[in-house]
A and B are shown apart, each in its own frame.
Chain A
Amino acid sequence: MTASESMPHKGGFSFDLCKRNEMLAQKGLKQPGFLKTGADTRATEGPIVADKNCEKIHYMAPNIYCCGAGTAADTEAVTDMVSSQLKLHRYHTGRESRVVTALSLLKSHLFSYQGHVSAALVLGGVDVTGPHLHTIYPHGSTDTLPFATMGSGSLAAMAIFESKYREGLCRDEGIKLVAEAICSGIFNDLGSGSNVDICVITKGKQEYLRNYMSPNPRTYISEKGYSFSKKTEVLLTKITPLREMVEVIEGADTMEE
């Protein structure tokens, strides 16, 4: 299996991005399992940056989040779809969703489309069986890993993980490592950029740290701000709210058959 995914750009948005996941596999029952997922925020359309601050960490369940690389529409659609399926499943079973459930739903959907749904996902969550981290490739194969990266910046991020990851990292060390890996992608890969989003999932709690780091601020901002030229004629500075034309009658008769 190739580690580097090259997504064919056939129009539409392409999230050639880094998704880095790093999992804290805590041994022993003293400390809860942490799971950290991170992503950058650049969406590209070929050579152009389409969205400088998009959200690549998708909600699947209260205890499961999924990062998506590849075609943006595909990652959004497939994670939304499986998220709904998981919710229905939760109602049906009355239990918290498990990560392997999301995994199976995603992999069978992607396999049946034979790789045409160009979504490379990093799925992570903490459920009753513990913390889990998986990668899912567009053709439907999956891996279970202590740390994972996907997207065009995956090699830059993986270099950081392979050299600095160790078991038994605490929450802050883990966040720092994930942020470092994503920054490596942001600064060394052209398909990744802008800010770092982090999501920390522990048993019973999740924190979505949107724009945890913004290492690419706008450097030159005019102090004067924007102002209209003096020639502009200001006609009126009163705001008139539009009035509602519909009148709702309470207690009216029901519609006739």
Chain B
Amino acid sequence: MNMVDSAPAMHNLIGSESDSQRTLYPYVTGTSVVGIKYKDGILLAADMGGSYGSTLRYKTVERLKSVGKHSIIGASGEISDFQEIMRYLDELILYDNMWDDGNSLGPKQVHNYLTQVMYNRRNKFNPLWNSLVLGGVKNGQKYLGTVSMIGVHYEDNHVATGFGNHLARPLLRDEWHENLTFEEGVKLLEKCMRVLLYRDRSAVNKLQIAKITEEGVTISEPYALKTFWNFAAFQNPTAGAEGSW
């Protein structure tokens, strides 16, 4: 291949003038989202924190949103890119409604759309810096999937993004089973969110749980989890050795 021909093309792709147009690194970020299938549908949980680097800057960021009649989406990563994705999805649902043909996009289709968008942006070296969880119920069929910023996508009975993969997935693998009731599902999600609260530095103690069933979507009011800090070893850690830490 002629090097002279490709050089300007490469320069344009990763050029310095167009750097202001590409997402190079995230600024305001949300942390993990955890989702599970349960008996009647899907449950998603996410906290309401938007971190600006190491500062917990925004504490009322809603990272769980409904999409059309049959799906809910949860996003972690760059919040502005999530808002952009919501605009794309609103447009998608709008065009779907304009067909007015009695059909509506289900969660599997929305998931596929998101995968294509994310992968396409990644190929242009301008990713939407998010990891998304997409869940929903249509015609009795439950669906729960995830897409990452590079377009990696899969569906499973339980998914998580970010730190949730390391801390929540092991718990879900152990304790998830088919036909969880709503209360059991919420309890399991809260267990995961509590571990994340203890061990993820960008987690805040203010979370929402979103539920979707055949009937529709409910996103709960924000609430906080109870935490326990009174272990004996924390009370007097240097009991055996004065002056150490």
A contact residues vs B (CB 8 Å cutoff): 3-4, 23, 25, 27, 98-100, 103-104, 127, 129-130, 132-133, 142-146, 155-156, 158-160, 162-163, 167, 184, 187-188
Contact = CB atoms under 8 A, between A and B. Distances in A.
A145 B233 contact: yes
B234 interface: yes
Contact of B238 (A104, A144, A156): A144
A144 B233 contact: yes
Contacts of A130: 239-240
Contacts of A4: 166
Nearest to A156: B170
A155 B198 CA distance: 11
A130 B234 CA distance: 15
Contacts of B198: 162
B171 interface: yes
Interface of B: 163, 166-171, 173-174, 191-192, 194-195, 198-199, 231-234, 237-241, 244-245
23 contacts: A23-B233, A25-B231, A98-B240, A99-B240, A100-B240, A100-B244, A104-B241, A130-B239, A130-B240, A142-B245, A146-B234, A158-B167, A159-B171, A159-B192, A159-B195, A159-B199, A160-B170, A162-B195, A163-B194, A163-B195, A167-B231, A167-B232, A188-B169
Contacts of B199: 3, 155, 158-159, 162
Given A158-B167, A188-B173, A27 B240 contact: no
Given A98-B240, A163-B195, A184 B174 contact: yes
Nearest to B245: A142
A28 B225 CA distance: 31
B240 A187 contact: no
Contacts, number: 73
Contacts of A145: 233
Name the residue among B194, B234, B244 with the largest chain A CB count within 10 angstroms: B244
A75 to B, nearest CB: 22
Nearest to B241: A100
A129 B231 contact: no
A163 B169 CA distance: 13
Given A159-B168, A162-B199, A188-B170, A146 B191 contact: no
Contacts of B238: 144
A152 B21 CA distance: 37
Contacts of B231: 25, 146, 167
Contacts of B167: 155-156, 158-159
A89 B239 CA distance: 22
Contact of B166 (A104, A143, A156, A167): A156
Given A104-B241, A129-B239, A159-B192, 12 more contacts: A3-B199, A23-B233, A99-B240, A100-B244, A130-B239, A146-B234, A155-B199, A156-B166, A158-B195, A159-B170, A160-B174, A162-B199
Given A103-B244, A156-B170, A146 B194 contact: no
A40 B166 CA distance: 18
B172 to A, nearest CB: 10
B114 to A, nearest CB: 26
A188 B167 CA distance: 10
Nearest to B195: A162
A132 B169 CA distance: 30
A87 to B, nearest CB: 20
Contact of A146 (B171, B233, B240): B233
A127 to B, nearest CB: 8
B232 A146 contact: yes
Contacts of B241: 100, 103-104
A162 B194 contact: yes
A132 B239 CA distance: 10
Contacts of B171: 159-160, 163
Given A159-B167, A187-B173, A188-B170, A129 B232 contact: no
A25 B233 contact: yes
A129 B237 CA distance: 12
